[in-house]
């Protein structure tokens, strides 16, 4: 069963109970109100008719007394007319009397009324015959029976008043019953709401609490936790999925932990290898520098002897050997620079110098070697730059040489100098082979070489750009490359005019 169904069903049940109680209370109220209104109307009619009968009876008594003294026929006519009207009023009253006691009192009054009518007729007849003895005797009977009839009428009227009082009490009882019913309904509503609360707490709040606890334990690395939710609704499905996810996370975490351990071991081995490699490069560079320098010196001496003796064949070979030894000397110097940078021992001689002259001199030297390329210089600097002149010129030479080296089919290289806000801008643009995007972020790493078919054509150790990058960083500058495969590259750097006060 869905959780929405579990919530809606008890709500519908609670609403149905409340509506049922309310409807029952409404119908009970209407029913009692209708009964009270009917009883009140009946009693009001009976009282009105009783009052009218009482007035007619009083008028008859006055007419009887008047007829005794005046013997006028109009009094007798009044008595006869009132008698008929009383009979009519009793006929109207009789349908409204529904209780047994009311019918008994009305019958008692009608009986005394019949006796009274007989005695009254005898009294009137004796008065007309001037029979004093019969008149006196009938008058005494008339008074007694008239009193009895009057008492019967009062009993009937009082009964109606008592009935009206009972109707008022019934109304009060109805109000009291409504009051207590409202209290019971309120208590019932509270009880149902409390039951609904505990019900919803059992199917929603507690499962959510369990899910929250399980999720918190999982976030803390406890992947063996269980939600212990056995329902088949959405929360139950969520609990099962969470348990399943915890199991999968446990396996993934164990695999990841193994992988991390393996990576840590690999990093330790790589770090050890890097240390050993740096130590080897440092030792080898220092050890090679002296014999290579000596070898270069001996080669130069042999070349001088060959020239002096006129042996041009040896002279040419010794000249080429000197060039190769020069390249080897430059390579050893670069390796020593890398070692010094790694250990933070590279010296910098900071001063103000003219970078325009440095750039122009490098262009002239490279242009002498690269006859196939035209090196174009655009722009110049207005101020001197603060930094290590030799190191900055080393960067300029490296970038221009690389531009020539990696654009063998290109015809020109563009060097740009410009003034920025508080810094100088230098860039070298070639139109050569270019660099893939995947290599551009690593091109300044130590010993990094682009692994493609062009690597065979352009050999090297991959330390020139690394040394250039470290030099520019030591001057608080930035160096970067913009390139596209087959369209050439633009290497740029910026350094502040004031530089780094090393």
For residue 64, tell me if it sits in a domain: yes
What pairs with residue 377 in β-bridges? 415
Strand 478-484 to strand 350-353: parallel, antiparallel, or no bridges (unpaired)? unpaired
Burial of 194 (0-12, 13-18, 19+ CB in 10 A): exposed
- The answer as to whether 391 is a domain residue is yes
Count up the domains in the chain and report the number.
Answer: 2
Closest C-alpha among 2, 488, 482, 471 to residue 235: 2
Taking the C-alpha atoms of residue 439 and residue 226, their distance in angstroms, rounded to an integer, is: 48
Give the DSSP per-residue string, 367-402. HHH-TT-EEEEE---SS-EEEEHHHHHHHHHHHHHH
Q: Which of residues 284 and 315 earns the better pLDDT score?
A: 315
Distance in angstroms (rounded) separating the CA atoms of residues 106 and 97:
9
CB 50 within 8 A of CB 160: yes
pLDDT in tens, 420-478: 888 999 999 999 888 888 888 788 887 666 655 544 445 555 678 888 898 899 899 99
- Give the C-alpha separation, 3 to 207, whole Å: 11
Nearest to 464 by CA among 414, 397, 409, 412: 397
Q: Rounded to an integer, what distance in angstroms lies between the CA atom of residue 53 and that of residue 380?
A: 136
State which of 161, 179, 198 marks the end of a domain: 198
Q: Is residue 485 part of a domain?
A: yes
Q: Is 481 helix (H, G, I), strand (E, B) or coil?
A: strand
pLDDT exceeds 90 at position 414: yes
Q: 50 or 380: whose pLDDT is higher?
A: 380
Give the pLDDT score at 272.
64
Q: Is residue 207 part of a domain?
A: no
Q: Is residue 276 part of a domain?
A: no
**Average confidence (pLDDT) over 41-47:** 77
Residue 235 belongs to a domain: no
72-112 per-position pLDDT tens digit: 777 778 878 878 888 888 888 888 777 788 788 878 878 88
**Domain assignment of residue 389, yes or no:** yes
- Residue 360 to residue 377: CA distance in whole angstroms: 8
Q: Strand ranges (DSSP E) for 229-359?
A: 350-353
pLDDT class of 395 with cuts at 50, 70, 90: very high
Structural domain contains residue 339: no
Domain boundary residue among 178, 198, 218?
A: 198
Higher-confidence position of 322 and 264: 264
Burial (Cβ within 10 Å: 0-12, 13-18, ≥19) of residue 415: buried
What's the CA gap between 279 and 272, in Å, rounded?
Answer: 10
Most confident of 143-152, 203-212, 332-341: 143-152
List, for residues 331-358, the tens digit of each pLDDT value: 666 556 666 666 566 678 899 999 999 9
The stretch 313-340 carries a mean pLDDT of: 63
Angle at 214 between CA 211 and CA 217, to 5 degrees: 150
* Phi, psi dihedrals of residue 426, rounded to the nearest 5°: -130, 135
Q: Round the average pLDDT of the chain to a whole number and report it.
A: 77
For residue 180, pLDDT beyond 60: yes
**CATH for 35:** 1.20.120.1730
**Is 418 in contact with 492 (CB distance < 8 Å)?**
no
pTM metric for this prediction: 0.42
Residue 451: CATH number of its domain = 3.30.565.10
Question: Residue 42 is part of which domain span?
Answer: 3-198
Q: Which two tokens stand for residue 84?
A: 């008929």
Check: CB of residue 476 under 8 Å from CB of residue 495: yes
**What is the predicted pLDDT for the residue at 389?**
93
Q: Which neighbouring-strand residues pair with 415? A: 377, 428
Residue 155's contacts (CB-CB under 8 Å, 6 or more residues apart) are 105, 108, 109
- Burial (CB < 10 A; 0-12, 13-18, 19+), residue 430, is buried
Which phi-psi region, left, alpha or beta, contains residue 192 (left: φ > 0; alpha: ψ -120 to 50)? alpha
Task: Give 383 or 312, the one with higher predicted confidence.
Answer: 383
Which of 142, 171, 198 is the endpoint of a domain? 198
Strand order in the sheet with 488-496: 374-378, 412-419, 423-429, 488-496, 478-484
């Amino acid at each position: 069963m869905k959780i929405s169904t579990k919530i809606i069903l008890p709500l519908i049940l609670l609403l149905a109970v409340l509506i049922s109680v309310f409807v029952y209370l409404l119908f009970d109220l209407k029913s009692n109100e209708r009964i009270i209104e009917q009883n009140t109307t009946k009693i009001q009619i009976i009282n009105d008719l009783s009052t009218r009968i009482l007035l007619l009876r009083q008028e008859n008594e006055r007419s009887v007394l008047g007829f005794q003294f005046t013997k006028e026929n109009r009094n007798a006519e009044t008595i006869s007319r009132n008698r008929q009207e009383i009979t009519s009023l009793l006929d109207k009253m009789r349908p409204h009397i529904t209780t047994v006691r009311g019918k008994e009192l009305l019958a008692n009054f009608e009986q005394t009324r019949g006796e009274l009518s007989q005695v009254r007729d005898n009294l009137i007849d004796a008065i007309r015959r001037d029979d004093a003895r019969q008149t006196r005797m009938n008058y005494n009977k008339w008074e007694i029976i008239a009193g009895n009839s009057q008492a019967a009428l009062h009993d009937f009227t009082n009964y109606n008043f008592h009935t009206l009082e009972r109707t008022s009490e019934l109304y009060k009882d109805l109000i009291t019953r409504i009051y207590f019913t409202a209290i019971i309904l309120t208590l019932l509503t509270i009880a149902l709401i409390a039951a609904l609360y505990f019900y919803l707490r059992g199917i929603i709040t507690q499962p959510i609490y369990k899910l929250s606890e399980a999720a918190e334990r999982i976030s803390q690395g406890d992947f063996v936790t269980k939600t212990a939710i056995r329902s088949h609704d959405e929360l139950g499905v969520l609990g099962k999925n969470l348990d399943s996810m915890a199991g999968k996370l446990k396996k993934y975490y164990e695999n990841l932990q193994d992988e991390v351990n393996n990576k840590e071991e690999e990093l330790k081995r790589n770090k050890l290898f890097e240390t050993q490699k740096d130590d080897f490069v440092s030792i080898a560079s220092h050890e090679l520098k002296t014999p290579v320098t000596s070898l270069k010196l001996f080669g130069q001496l042999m070349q001088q002897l060959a020239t002096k003796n006129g042996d041009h064949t040896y002279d040419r070979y010794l000249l080429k050997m000197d060039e190769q030894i020069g390249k080897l000397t430059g390579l050893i110097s670069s390796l020593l620079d890398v070692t010094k940078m790694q250990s933070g021992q590279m010296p910098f001689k900071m001063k103000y110098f003219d970078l325009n002259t440095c750039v122009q001199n490098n262009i002239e030297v490279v242009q002498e070697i690269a006859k196939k390329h035209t090196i174009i210089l655009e722009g110049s600097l207005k101020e001197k730059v603060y930094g290590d002149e030799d190191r900055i010129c080393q960067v300029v030479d490296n970038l221009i040489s690389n531009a020539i080296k990696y654009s063998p089919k290109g015809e020109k290289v563009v060097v740009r100098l410009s003034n920025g806000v508080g810094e100088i801008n230098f860039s070298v643009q070639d139109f050569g082979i270019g660099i893939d995007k995947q290599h551009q972020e690593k091109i300044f790493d130590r010993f990094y070489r682009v692994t493609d078919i062009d690597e065979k054509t352009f050999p090297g150790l991959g330390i020139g750009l690394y040394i250039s990058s470290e030099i520019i960083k030591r001057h608080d500058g930035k160096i970067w490359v913009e390139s596209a495969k087959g369209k050439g590259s633009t290497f740029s750097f910026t350094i502040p005019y004031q530089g780094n006060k090393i």
